[in-house]
Structure 1
Amino acid sequence: MSITSLAIALTIAFSTGSGQPVVALEQGRLTGRSADGVISFQAIPYAAPPTGALRWRPPEPARAWDGLRDATAPGAICVQPPANGDPGVGPPPMSEDCLTLNVWAPDDAEALPVMVWIHGGGYNNGSGTAELYDGTRLAGRGVVVVTLNYRLGRLGFFDHPALAAERDPEEPAGNYGLMDQVAALEWVRDNIAAFGGDPRRVTIFGESAGGVAVTQLMIAPAARGLFHGAIVQSGLGRQRSARLAEDRPGRPSAQSLGTTFARGAGLAEATAGELRALPAERFLSPMPAFYTDNLVVDGQVLTEDVVEAFAARRQAPVPLIIGTNSAEFWWIRPADAGAYGRTDDAMTDAEYDSLIGAYGGTANYDASVVSDLIFSEPARHLARLHAADGHPTFLYRFDVVAASNPEPSGGATHASERPYVFDTLHTVGRPMGDRDQRAATLMADYWTTFARTGDPNGTGQPEWPAFQNDRLLQFGNDGPEPVAVPDAGVLDIIEEFYRRVRP
């Protein structure tokens, strides 16, 4: 850390007589909160509001402000459908002016590792402002935590021929939400030292769509060098994205999807101006589907899908934690409508019969095959590819189920690990026991140790073996335990299926 940055960091906790921390950035000065040895700053703009003419444009730099900006309350969440009880969505209001981030740091922070959280929600929901993602408990372990908002749904992942006609051919398009994430990482690089963070030790971590974002950032040219470690929680891995303008069998392009939406909105011959004049809420209905609408290979921000990039050794050469939960999509059956339920439709009779045998019958197949197709096998596959390329890799399986769990899930359901990672069990909304707190303490310790050293192992923690010979760390109700990858025979058959349909 430079002398100038150190001086700025040391003024954070002592700049005002009121005890509120103040930090000076190039954009302006901020005042935050201090409690229990941790300082926090909320709703910090990292990019200009993407409104008006900036809707569906790459993010532009945040504007400066005069005076002391109050950073003690969360900012607006990005435009999205109702949360339906998801604790990963912060409080209203909702606005297109939402490109802000939040920072937590020990009040004596100096050149500490940085953890940047990318929320999930299918690229349709979520925010970095949710209480679930409060970074206080992680920061108390000696890291600087950043959470962020990014554009969602059709405001974040969208294109239309009228938009293409007006933009420069070299301007990136389609993946605006991913561009926002890159802009946030650039902000971290340029500003985090003022909060006591080390821009040379940044770990990105995310869950579900946020886990997908982590893998996409690992292959995005614009993100290279902006982070130095990655954690993927339930981040898929075998998804097949739409192209920006090229229709493929069974996979309309982003521009075709945009044209269909515009027609439904009464704009059969839409102009760019007419699309930008639509109220933001109009883009919420019908809600785009993550697996078919919000994943785009645009040719610039993303030039290929994740699995192809990993197979070609083009991913970021950084330490990686990757894993899944034991009962991810337990409620989705292979006969269900929708992209996830259709995942097994391309199986041959022989492949289907082999999987039925490996699962021990149709009941287990129906209960588990969607989760294994979408999460378990892809995570193992990416871990194998990354480790084979010589990069530190750690695979996990989360199987902690609270006694108060009301669902007949038969394991840890999708997203249930989040309050354990952040050590925020108090946000769950039902009683959590001592074993849950022990699991949360260990997970938060592993995650922050990894951010510090590139290896999750530390003093007093059960050993987490580096990924080799298909071994992982299983987090269970009785504590973490190194084990062979569960259901390896099932995953082997799924791997062969993917090899056939996507050689």
Structure 2
Amino acid sequence: MRVLNSLIVLGVALLALPAFAQKATPPVSVTGGQISGTDTGEVRTFLGVPFAAPPVGELRWRAPQAVVPWSGVRATTTLSAACAPNADWLPNPKSEDCLYLNVWAPEQADRAKAEKLPVIVWIHGGGYYGGTAGQPLFDGGNLARHGAVVVTLNYRLGIFGFFAHPELTAELPDQSSGNQGIEDQIAALHWVKDNIAAFGGDPERVTIMGESAGGESVAILVASPLGKGLFQRAIAESGNDALPLAPSENAHFDRTAAEAKGMAFSKAAGAHHLFDLRAMSLETLAKQPWSPVPIVDGHVLHEDLTTTYQNHRQNDVPILVGWNAEEGKDLAPEILGTSDFTAANHRDLMARLLGHAPTDALLKTYPGATDAQARASINQLTNDWWGWRMQYWANLQRQNSHSKSYVYFFAHRPAELPNCGYGCGIGHGAEIQYVFDHLDWEQRPWTAEDRRLATELSDRWVAFAATGDPNRRSLPVWTVFDGSNASIFRIGSDTDRLPDFDLFIP
């Protein structure tokens, strides 16, 4: 089953710094030279910091290369372009020259004597074809105020980030291709390890965090041998199509199939060799259809993730994972490739989602005798199936790891705008604005409970980043996941139903 894991489309304008009480920061030395950002008195912000060389020309599709040094003090006060080609809903500048990250660091009275802070590195979603670190929702300033250094990063997308080809595989030192976007994430984590202390961060307390395709990226990084030592905790929100639940799901990870797909793309584009593809413009390449997906390339990933976890070959770190109460209304049409959910095609759609024919028990729990019933059931089944995948990961962790796992179910209904569509309600990505304590990125009739919950979640996420445990004094106890529904932490109370996960075991 292939899931594009789209990031919720909650906004398209780039984030902007507040226009008050700003001053330039003193120069900070990082890989490549010195940078200066903006200081509001509470948080220092550095935008568009390069962590690798521009992957253009001969570097197109190669692994990320070392940062190109600069002279003088580089102003890091504006966001970089988003990685091309990107999704149509993101109208900001898009470029292949996009390997930049952003840093928000709490101001400290005496930085030399201050204790190093935990670090949270955010990996955006968007199905590996859309999104950017500079979306307004991902402004890390408020989250940083809770006591962490926050980093958001770009990584190559679409045809530029997930392209395998035999000629490319042959020319690269590691004899692999297809996971350039994941390699970018790893390069950014190396930058964090080497430089984050200069911003008050602790390079030995790094948490990787992502949603949707970003959450799937987290699962991959935890499984990848290249991630060893680069992070100490992992958070994945509503994103884990990376752990195959059955052998049939391994097909889209196959390297041979990925290289064959790359050859077919090359032929359709009118290119005889890799040289010809590199000579083509971004616009020409972007016209050709491409479905990006990470693969088992023998370098970033040596095997499918389920096998890695079952044999305890993952990076053994605490994980915090979960999903939202209404993922299905956003994800079902995308996963299934249709929104025509009717009684007539109900059984077939269930089989397509599950990867196997539905059992009688599933058909009883998710009935489709009428079109209205079928529509509601498919949405609910998709949501529960998505949740089961997150629980499946947590169970693998529980059974094959020395580290703890925590699971949440986000069931708080946010304040809504009229005519709200994708991502509204408790849909895909609804939790992000609370985790970033950034409700004011858009105008909604936020309630006191919305704001209280935003404070609580960002506190819990920072606590997890600091200690590997999301509990804080005065907050309700969040128990370690033991495989039961009772150990899944409910956030909010809008939905009182948790799925019977035993139904989903293939």
TM-score band w.r.t. shorter chain: 0.7 to 0.9
Aligned mates of 1:116, 1:409 — CA distance in 2: 23
1:106 aligns with 2:111: no
The aligned amino acid for 2:403 is H
Identical pairs, percent: 38
Following TM superposition, by how much is the alpha carbon of 1:408 offset from its aligned partner in structure 2, in angstroms?
9.4
1:366 aligns with 2:382: no
Superposed, which structure 2 residues align to 1:37-436 within 5 Å?
37-84=42-89, 92-108=92-108, 110=114, 111-168=116-173, 170-237=174-241, 238-239=243-244, 240=249, 242-243=252-253, 245-246=255-256, 253-267=257-271, 270-289=272-291, 293-331=292-330, 332=332, 336-337=337-338, 343-344=352-353, 346-348=355-357, 351-359=358-366, 363=373, 364-373=376-385, 375-388=386-399, 389-404=401-416, 406-407=420-421, 412-436=426-450
Is the contact made by 2:237 and 2:321 (CA closer than 8 Å) also made in structure 1? yes
Structure 1 residue 341: Cα displacement: 7.6
Where do 5+ consecutive residues of structure 1 fail to align?
A: 1-16, 247-252, 498-503
2: CA distance between counterparts of 1:407 and 1:118?
24
Secondary structure, aligned partner of 1:184: helix
Quote the residue 1:501 is aligned against.
Answer: none
Task: Kindly indicate whether the alpha-carbon contact (under 8 Å) linking 1:174 and 1:244 is maintained by their aligned counterparts in 2.
Answer: no
In structure 2, the CA distance between the partners of 1:172 and 1:455, relative to structure 1 (3 Å rule), is same
Distance 1:487 1:310 in 2: 24
Structure 1 residues 178-187 or 401-410, which shifts more? 401-410
Q: Distance in 1 between matches of 2:468 and 2:283?
A: 42
**Displacement of 1:469 after TM fit?**
4.7
**Counterpart-to-counterpart distance in 2, 1:464 and 1:38:** 30
Once the two structures are superposed, residues 419-471 of structure 1 have per-residue CA deviations (whole angstroms, 9 ceiling, x without a partner) of: 11111112245333222212211111110111111100012211111111512
Q: What SS is found at the alignment partner of 2:352? A: coil
1:258 maps to amino acid: G
Task: Name which of 474, 482, 501 aligns with 2:490.
Answer: 474
Change over 3 Å in CA distance of 1:341–1:129 after alignment to 2: farther
Q: Could you say if the C-alpha distance between residues 116 and 335 of structure 1 is closer, same or farther in structure 2, counting changes exceeding 3 Å?
A: closer
Whole-Å separation in 2 of the counterparts to 1:410 and 1:277: 42
1:14 counterpart residue number: none
Contact map agreement 2:219 2:240 (CA 8 A) in 1: no
- What's the CA shift for 1:24? 1.6
- Distance in 2 between the 1:340 and 1:177 partners? 31
1:376 is paired with a residue whose SS is helix
Q: Distance in 2 between matches of 1:260 and 1:396?
A: 42
TM-fit CA distance, 1:335 = 6.2
SS at match of 1:158: coil
Matched to 1:38, the amino acid is: V
2:185 is paired with a residue whose SS is helix
TM-score normalized by structure 2? 0.84
CA separation in 2, counterparts of 1:29 and 1:341?
55
Counterpart amino acid of residue 294 in structure 1: V
Equivalent pairs counted in the alignment come to 454
